[in-house]
Amino acid sequence: MSSDDLAKVEDSTPILIGSGQITDTTSKPTSARSPSAFMAEAARLALDDARAAKGAAALAATLDALVILPLFTDYSPRFSSPFGRSDNPPRSVANRIGATNVRDLYYAHVGGNMPQYMVNKFAEQITRGEIRAALVAGAELMRTNAIGRKEKMTLDWNESPGGQPLRIGDDRLGYSPEEERHRLNAAIYFYPLIENAIRGAAGRSLPDHMLSMGRLFAGFAKVAKANPLATRREGYSAEQIATVDAENRYIAFPYPRLMNSNALVDQAASVVMTSVGQAKALGIPRDRWVFLHGCADGSDTWVTSERTALHRSAAIRGCATRSLAMAGKTVAQMDLFDLYSCFPSAVEIGCREIGLAEDDPRGLTVTGGLPFFGGPGNNYVTHSIAEMTSRLRARPGAFGMVTANGNYVTKHSAGIYSTTPTQGTWTREDPKKFQAELDALPTVHVEAAPQGTAKIETYTVTFNGTTPHFAVVFGRLENGNRFVANTPDDPTLLQDMISKDQLGRSGTLSSDGKRNIFTPS
């Protein structure tokens, strides 16, 4: 950055100045390394990374806002921990890093979009002079949690630092009562449903589509192989990813294990933001500065079964369009990408809506993605942003796009980053305007008590270990309305649904008193 460029940058301009990441695949569980302590480790790395002339302690003292991404163990019964928790995680982290002046302590609601969402929010607050600096942090200790449970260890992660955190984000459940009563209440079930809808729209056979997904994720595995922070560094081939076997069993059809986010990880990440003026005052070197050139947030039709097209996302398309327009750039001018990648369907839809080929030579990830880098819950995108920050510092003048996704291709955020300075006063469009456009889009009526004949629109078969467990079907009635149903729990039928394409298959609807039952003809 030349002195002339620097002179043109307004002091109110928001910038990222520090990032820190930790991946631990070997440490033994201890009481000392609680989730709060682990997050604080990453936060200290981010503060140190800014290289403030006045020191990390001086930078920590300028933090007016701090957000912690929610832990799996705090909200998911499936991942509950017997080792206790902090009743105010942001305060626990703030205390550890010496952030004694923090005014706004946030504990975010659930959503993989929330790291980018908070960077966008903090950027607005910084440019308006409402806060001097902010820190985003999160972690998961799922590997540690699993080991501790298995070995029946006694760990104490309880903390009561006082006060209650502010909650931020959308706290609505990601699924409807109608979906939940058909046992549809988790990402590992929703994304396979979306995937088969994508396959149907593409007109592919099951074998062809499996290999297509394998090729897509082989690109992510290749990046993870070269990333020392990745948890799966084997560099799996397309065939390995697409082949179902004892090591790569189905989780929910059509996704085997290597097409699922890897949640059993110990990973932590943090990023620090401030203004250009504050960075100057703290003596933060200019080679640490990364500018947020464009950003956007928006949510698709909230209830998945009410979406008109299960293989599309108006919110992803709009977030990409708006963030690029704000940056004054095009997709062709991006040098780096990190597309949210919990499952192949998230990437496939992202590519389609952004306008990227799935084999774009620039690559689709800087980390290796959630299945191979690691999927630390709601905090993955903090790693995306931290890694993008490092990559852009190494390539001055390059531009990178980060996308984020919460729930089931539902909540979306995007950010455009570069070491190149922004021009003029940093400002963004009110996200409420875009959300109003999204909320006005048409939806599909879902019948709660469908009857008669109907056809399968998309489906999945879930697994209990290696055994098919139950199937979920989205279908269309003759009147065009949609329904949600299970099939009879018949092992022969479930196996047939895995081995043969069911899209468009006819059947009849009934009720067992609890759920709609679709019986294929």
Nearest-angstrom CA–CA distance, 478 and 249: 36
DSSP collapsed to 3 states, 100-157: CCCCEEEEECCCCCHHHHHHHHHHHHHHCCCCCEEEEEEEEEHHHHHHHHHCCCCCCC
Give mean pLDDT, residues 2-21.
86
What is the average pLDDT value for the chain, to the nearest integer?
97
Nearest-angstrom CA–CA distance, 379 and 113: 9
pLDDT of 168-223, one tens digit each?
A: 999 999 999 999 999 999 999 999 999 999 999 999 999 999 999 999 999 999 99
Nearest-angstrom CA–CA distance, 274 and 17: 7
Give the phi and the psi of residue 58 in degrees, each rounded to 5: -65, -40
What pLDDT does residue 76 have? 86
DSSP string, 160-201: --SS-PEEES--S-SS-HHHHTTT--SHHHHHHHHHHHHHHH
pLDDT of 388-443, one tens digit each?
A: 999 999 999 999 999 999 999 999 999 999 999 999 999 999 999 999 999 999 99
What pLDDT does residue 5 have? 64
The amino acid that residue 15 corresponds to is I
What pLDDT does residue 78 have? 83
pLDDT of 445-455, one tens digit each?
A: 999 999 999 99
DSSP collapsed to 3 states, 236-288: CCHHHHHCCCCCCCEEECCEEHHHCCCCCCEEEEEEEEEEHHHHHHHCCCHHH
State if pTM tops 0.75: yes
Nearest-angstrom CA–CA distance, 50 and 104: 21
Nearest-angstrom CA–CA distance, 398 and 136: 24
Angle, in degrees to the nearest 10, between helices 187-202 and 206-225: 120
pLDDT at 236 over 60: yes
Other C-beta atoms closer than 10 Å to the C-beta of 520 total 18
pLDDT band for 2, please (50, 70, 90 cuts): low
Residue 459's SS3 state is strand
Q: How far is CA 389 from CA 15, 67, 159, 370, in A?
A: 11, 19, 32, 18
